[in-house]
Amino acid sequence: MAKRKLSKQQQRRIASQQKNKIKDDQLQNNKSPIDESSTQTARVVSHHGRQLFAETEDLEIIKCKIRQNLGDIACGDHVLVQQTQEKTQLQAGDTQNVVVAIKQRTNLLLKTGFAGATKPVAANIGQILIVTAIRPKPNPYLIDRYLTAAENLPAKALLVINKIDLIDSATQQIAEDLTSLYQSIGYRVISTSIKQNIGIDELSEALSNTTSILVGLSGVGKSSIVKAILPKEEIKIGETSEASGEGKHTTTVSALYHLKDSGIIIDSPGVRDFTPINKSQDEITHGFIDVRQFNGACKFSNCSHQNEPGCAMKQAVSDGRLNEQRFNNYLRLLKEFNEKE
């Protein structure tokens, strides 16, 4: 009998299950010997190649090496750290911290990396701040892609429209339309200006008691927002390219910062082309909270929402119950997913 060829979706699912099983075995079965007296739990603050910085439960920042074959580690991960002695490399009595296992995650935000491979952005996230700006011009399709990622983690989503001090007659309507659209769907929208100190207190309040990550194009002001909220932190701030209008990357690795009222913020690198890792068409539909209410109401169960008669979604657009731009972005994501499959 010929061996059945697995689809790309099945291959990804199997690979993910195998990776999770390895991590569960490391934690639950202790296949690698761990000295409990020299092991502690810490949270990854920043990650640089085969080394990372982690924060202990006593809020001490420690530098760690990573045991091989642990897989990808993300900022925000909870890890087990063991103190070991390497007599051939260290002086007698010296120790080094080694990450020996990754604790179970509540969620993991991924992006598409080199050659289509997935790359972790951050773990254990409670809220995604989708930051756009008056300049560079807002990209509604990118916003909707981030929203699908938030809905499927799941994590709360908050839209930030930054640099409103740059509003003029040409951009006023754009900002108002964005605010009106996403508020009508049910998302919170906060307008901010670092230069004029607008919306910073409201944003700080929204970051309380959860772990948040800022995502968005380079140049929208993510690092500037973090700097305004945490003025004592050493955070690099970049300029916007005059040629492209887009930002120059300033944050090169994700970093974790503490806020007041038990809030934590993860400042991620600028992502110019963020693609959520959708495992199925159902995930894409679930990611659009306004679209999914019409799912299953079409005349045909296999409706593609293109030209079929009795499509509930197209009817909702015609009736003004579903935003046409959002619907077109939904169809675009479905098309891209099907082309990859």
What integer pLDDT is reported at residue 208 of this predicted model?
A: 96
How much is the average pLDDT of 34-39? 67
pLDDT in tens, 275-322: 678 889 999 999 999 999 999 999 999 999 998 999 999 999 999 999
CA–CA distance, 202 with 179 (Å, rounded to integer) = 16
79-93, 236-250, 270-284: least confident range: 236-250
CA–CA distance, 167 with 48 (Å, rounded to integer) = 38
Counting residues of the chain whose pLDDT is more than 90, the rounded percentage is: 57
93: pLDDT confidence band, cut at 50, 70 and 90? low
CA–CA distance, 256 with 267 (Å, rounded to integer) = 7
How much is the average pLDDT of 17-22? 46
Q: Looking at per-residue confidence, does 237 or 219 come out higher?
A: 219
Q: Of 129, 130, 150, give the one whose Cα is nearest residue 140.
A: 130
pLDDT in tens, 163-185: 999 999 889 999 999 999 999 99
How much is the average pLDDT of 233-240? 52
CA–CA distance, 127 with 77 (Å, rounded to integer) = 15
Average pLDDT score over the chain:
83
CA–CA distance, 7 with 17 (Å, rounded to integer) = 15
106-110, 180-184, 199-203: least confident range: 106-110
What integer pLDDT is reported at residue 77 of this predicted model?
A: 96
How much is the average pLDDT of 317-336? 96
What integer pLDDT is reported at residue 91 of this predicted model?
A: 56
Taking a C-beta distance cutoff of 8 angstroms, is the pair 127, 214 a contact?
no
What integer pLDDT is reported at residue 332 of this predicted model?
A: 96
How much is the average pLDDT of 194-215? 95
Q: What domains are there in the chain, each with its CATH number?
A: 29-102 (2.40.50.140), 108-267 (3.40.50.300), 281-340 (1.10.40.50)
CA–CA distance, 65 with 173 (Å, rounded to integer) = 51
55-64, 106-115, 264-273: least confident range: 264-273
Complete DSSP assignment for 254-322:
-EEEE-STT-EEEEPPP-SS------SHHHHHHH-TTTGGGTT-SSSTT--SSS-TT-HHHHHHHHTSS
In this predicted structure, the answer to whether residue 61 has a pLDDT above a threshold of 60 is yes
In this predicted structure, the answer to whether residue 113 has a pLDDT above a threshold of 60 is yes
What integer pLDDT is reported at residue 249 of this predicted model?
A: 37
How much is the average pLDDT of 192-218? 94
CA 68-15-41 angle, to 5 degrees, is: 45
What integer pLDDT is reported at residue 108 of this predicted model?
A: 93
In this predicted structure, the answer to whether residue 325 has a pLDDT above a threshold of 50 is yes
For the record, the structure tokens of 20 come out as 């999770």
- Alpha-helical (H) ranges within the chain are 8-28, 140-152, 172-185, 200-206, 222-229, 281-287, 312-319, 324-340
What integer pLDDT is reported at residue 30 of this predicted model?
A: 45
